[in-house]
Amino acid sequence: MENPTGRNSRDAILDAATKIAQAHGYGGLNLRALAEQVGIKAASLYHHFPSKADLATAVARRYWEDAAAGLDALTSRTPDPTERLRKYPGTFRKALENDNRMCLCSFMTAESDDLPGTVMSEIERFNEVNVDWLGKTLLEAGVVGSRDAKKRAHAIFAAVAGAQLMARGRSDIKLYDTLIKSYQAAGLLPPP
Amino acid sequence: MENPTGRNSRDAILDAATKIAQAHGYGGLNLRALAEQVGIKAASLYHHFPSKADLATAVARRYWEDAAAGLDALTSRTPDPTERLRKYPGTFRKALENDNRMCLCSFMTAESDDLPGTVMSEIERFNEVNVDWLGKTLLEAGVVGSRDAKKRAHAIFAAVAGAQLMARGRSDIKLYDTLIKSYQAAGLLPPP
DNA sequence: ACCTGAACACCGTTCAAGT
DNA sequence: ACCTGAACACCGTTCAAGT
């Protein structure tokens, strides 16, 4: 094997691009800076991805795939659906723990007017994955009936994304925790 | 008087810049495009504002001043505090009604890592204005006690901003309305 | 297969020059 | 006072040329 670690330069590019996009968005993803971080020249990026749009599409796809895997793992590891709902905000907390970054998809949702369509599709997939998981879990937990599961799932997703955004703006992860607690106290999320 | 309408070119620049920033953010605010919209050249913008950072600071300041005035007007026009809380999401709805734009401050909060400090300060002022107004109104309405007013105010603000962001991403103002209704049904906002 | 320097049209910004 | 063209270093992107 030429590459025993399995970490090829394509993955290194995706990793670095993800972190940059989580802090600066699609527009702020500078290919020269990205290339420097990976140790190559900007022109060399085009050997791995046909364009910035394609690179960002790959980044966003891998992002929701990882999110889906993480939610699956949470489901396996936590049999009680109510407990899973309590843990859900922890998945959005990770980005803040990671140098005050935010969800790639929230950032790019703001940028939707300037986003290539292929990127936007992957962003929408991320939202779907989260809302579907939440809806399923809400139903299983008996928090809402089947008529309201999807609506409530959407509401929780939007509220959690908003909390992450605000906490990032203040670089204050404690604000995120406070907001989640307020959501629980108000009844949007199941109380601890 | 040389300018009977009171609308000088400085205001025209601020108006156009606000609309652009609401759809493309600070990074996406293109000075050449802005100038063209106003009918001058990009270099001429520097006669009115020393830099893009100063222009954006003026935009953000006027934005929260207008928001504060709007909330004051809502207070005067609606004596019942509970009714005011029901109407609050309408203030965020306006941006969506305006060609699927979003709150300038939510967008720039995402961009906080790349924002000049003077702009960030004005953004924070917008948040303060909203959270203070909400906290005061929540107290007056007796929804929460003084110990929790600010926390709940923050939670409502973050959730409403998140709802606006999601609705914008889908270009679906009905989603915004559905999310607000879900917040009301869950108990985050007073029910109709 | 992978990388590069040089070039392109585009950004924010400056500045000398115009009215 | 207000505007402009030309220039600067920087963007995404291309391409011919290297190993």
Give contacts of B 141-180 with A, CB under 8 A: 148, 151-152, 154-155, 157-163, 165-166, 168-171, 175, 178-179
Condensed to tens digits (0 to 9), the pLDDT of residues A87-115 reads 999 999 999 999 999 999 999 999 999 99
B77: Cβ contacts below 8 Å, ≥ 6 apart? none
A165, A170, A175: residue with CB nearest B161: A165
Closest CA to B140 of B155, B152, B127, B128: B152
Closest CA to B168 of A84, A105, A170: A105
DSSP state of A113: G
| Through-space separation of residue A42 CA and nucleotide C7 C1' in angstroms | 14
Condensed to tens digits (0 to 9), the pLDDT of residues A43-94 reads 999 999 999 999 999 999 999 999 999 999 999 999 999 999 999 999 999 9
Whether nucleic acid strand D comes within 7 Å of the CB of A120, the answer is no
Q: Which nucleotide is nearest to B46 (CA to C1')?
A: C13
Q: Cβ of A12: how many Cβ atoms within 10 Å?
A: 15
User: Where are the extended beta strands (E) located within A20-69?
Assistant: none
A121: Cβ contacts below 8 Å, ≥ 6 apart? A57
Angstrom distances, CA of residue B112 to CA of B25, B118, B133, B150:
11, 11, 24, 23
Cβ–Cβ of B186/A158 closer than 8 Å? no
Q: Which nucleotide is nearest to B32 (CA to C1')?
A: C11
CA distance A111 to B98: 16
Task: Give the residue whose CA sits closest to D14 at C1'.
Answer: A43
pLDDT tens for chain B, 192 residues: list them: 345 455 688 999 999 999 999 999 999 999 999 999 999 999 999 999 999 999 999 999 999 999 999 999 999 999 999 999 999 999 999 999 999 999 999 999 999 999 999 999 999 999 999 999 999 999 999 999 999 999 999 999 999 999 999 999 999 999 999 999 999 999 999 998
Q: Cβ of B43: how many Cβ atoms within 10 Å?
A: 10
Amino acid at B136: K
With beta carbons less than 8 A apart as the criterion, state whether A22 and A107 touch: yes
CA distance A32 to B180: 42
CA distance B168 to B161: 11
CA distance A90 to chain B (A): 17
CA distance B170 to B162: 13
Per domain, the residue ranges of chain A are 9-186
Whether domain A9-186 has CATH 1.10.357.10: yes
Query: Is residue B23 less than 8 Å (CB to CB) from chain A?
Result: yes
* pLDDT value for A55: 96
Q: Which nucleotide is nearest to A47 (CA to C1')?
A: C2
Whether nucleic acid strand C comes within 7 Å of the CB of B50, the answer is yes
B28, B112, B151: residue with CB nearest A168: B112
With H, G, I as helix, E, B as strand and everything else as coil, classify residue A116.
coil
* pLDDT value for B9: 86
* pLDDT value for A119: 95
Asked whether residue A17 carries a pLDDT value surpassing 60, the answer given is yes
Condensed to tens digits (0 to 9), the pLDDT of residues A122-163 reads 999 999 999 999 999 999 999 999 999 999 999 999 999 999
Cβ–Cβ of A111/B168 closer than 8 Å? no
3-state secondary structure A86-104: HHHHHHHHHHHHCCCCCCH
Q: Which nucleotide is nearest to B53 (CA to C1')?
A: C12
B111: Cβ contacts below 8 Å, ≥ 6 apart? A24, A25, A28, B25, B26, B27
Give contacts of B 103-122 with A, CB under 8 A: 106-107, 109-114
Sign for the CA dihedral angle at B169, B172, B177, B182 comes to negative
Residues B160, B164, B168: CA angle, nearest 5 degrees: 170
Sign for the CA dihedral angle at B80, B82, B85, B90 comes to negative
Residues A22, A130, A141: CA angle, nearest 5 degrees: 140
Q: Residues of B with CB below 8 A from A127's CB?
A: 166, 169
Global pTM? 0.95
* pLDDT value for B4: 45
Condensed to tens digits (0 to 9), the pLDDT of residues A20-48 reads 999 999 999 999 999 999 999 999 999 99
